[in-house]
Structure 1
Amino acid sequence: MPSTNFMETTQTDISTTMRAMLIDWLVEVTEGYRLVPETLYLTVNYMDRYLSVKKINRNRLQLLGVSCLLIAAKYEEICPPQVEELCYVTDGSYTKEEVLQMEASVLSYLKFEMAVPTSKCFLRRFVHAAQVFDKGSTLHLEFLVNYICELSLLEYSLLCYLPSLVAASSVFLARFILKPTKNPWNSSLSYYTRYTPSDLHGCVRVLHRLFCFGPGRNLPAIREKYSQHKYRFVAKNYCPPTIPTEFFQDATS
């Protein structure tokens, strides 16, 4: 797990805004190369873990991003992008040698621990459990959950939550958006996720704010991605401005 406060304790030349802008750009790159979603999540995990232990200058932040993407693609993809291609997408800002040197640095600082659970790892099981109760809109629910979970990557403050909790909170919010008058949680979801509604309260509130107000005009990639027909335009779904407090109350035995 990355540190939850590396911006305050380790980094002095970059900000949470710069991190979010880099991730937004990486979303565009992964879409352009049609990489699997797991590659994006791993890339962000590697970046945050590296930034937790190694101070970096802002002019090398994009270099870190493409190097982590290279490692994640090698781990997840059948045909990962070539180093030269990743240099090209940075408009030639970095050479092949610089990318390879940064790749070696990341692998060294992360001690070659590349197999890590991201929130995407938990989504399949959690979404499947939720779809049992939403048979009429299973695909819509899946796309909406994935949209919410990808938005979470932009939010530095969400690093304090476990990936499994972020995944469960994404399911909670998606089910609320689709059926605002119905309690989005039940005993079966608690069983499969191991989280009660009260456990999800803080994380859901942050995700709800992200969904309603968006990450900002400077970070359009995820919103535009999920505004496409192939994702059922889920980014354009209406979300009620408030979530009833009683939805976060745990069921009494």
Structure 2
Amino acid sequence: MDRYDVAVKQLYVISIACLLLASKFEEKEDKVPKLDQLNSFAYMCSLNLALTKKDLLKMELLLLETFNWNLCLPTPAHYIDYYLFASVSESDLHNGWPITSVTKVRAFMEKYSHYFLEVSLQDHVFLSFRPSLVAAACVGASRICLEVSPSWTAQLQLLTCYSWEHLAPCIELMLIAHDKDIKEANKEKDRVKLLQQQQQVVESLSLQTPTQVLFQQSRYHPLAQHSAVVPQFHSPIQDLCSAYRDSLQAPRLSGLASGHHSDSLHSYSTLQASFQPVLQTVSIQGPITMQVAISTEPRHCLALTYGSSYFSGHPSYTTGCFDG
């Protein structure tokens, strides 16, 4: 259209002629629209224009001369479907084992091949290769990704007329792009997973009810710091018990045996006086200074057994400390 000065009225004729040429090139003969069908488009567009067969053929010839009769610009997509018929054979191996389902592997091969076709459209470096070579490299890269061996068969080489040495540079570029896509996909997956985890944490925190701390354990442990003072609580009891044991020794036995009851009564009164409640005040240094008074009452701390060795003729019995 750049070579000619096309009037606005002729744009409709050019568009119809382009549609007719495309249908003749791509569709079967019975699918090519007839003149009546093409004229019906004019009524749909509210145009008072009816094409004749002569006008339509004249426009077709003009378009063909403009394109130098070169209507087909081959792309890798024109070759890929042809190569896929020989992309997988029964003699191929998958991970070193025979292929059980050629149809299933061929379906995966088709998906990978179309993926590599899209990769070839995203980088201008693939324009340096022929479209047929790019299509063959798509099949070779797909076989590598699917771990189908050998990577390139004699049947594919005969069909494409390309050896592995011809395809290696193009396949290497495709596999590099494939690795980049995998890394980007993993990064995106990790990012989505991190966002989900953060959202779960936020939701869990929002569902928790606020609690008020009423009591808190103090970090100060007075007993741990004044452990040396604690044994002082037990010393009065130990002293009283020692005094009590001493009072039961030989002087008491000798007095009972000789009949000197006055000495034993004197020992009893002395011991009873020593068993009076003992008060001891212990001061504990801490956050709060307080006085602790402990009353030591050893009245019920011991049990005495009187038997025939002390009072002959009387049965033995157990009593408290001078329960009277």
Same fold (TM over 0.5): no
Which has the larger share of helix?
Answer: 1
Under a length normalisation based on structure 1, what TM-score does the superposition of the two structures give?
0.41
Q: Which has the higher contact order (CA 8 A, sep 6+)?
A: 1
Bigger-Rg structure (1/2): 2
Under a length normalisation based on structure 2, what TM-score does the superposition of the two structures give?
0.32
Which has the larger share of strand?
Answer: 2
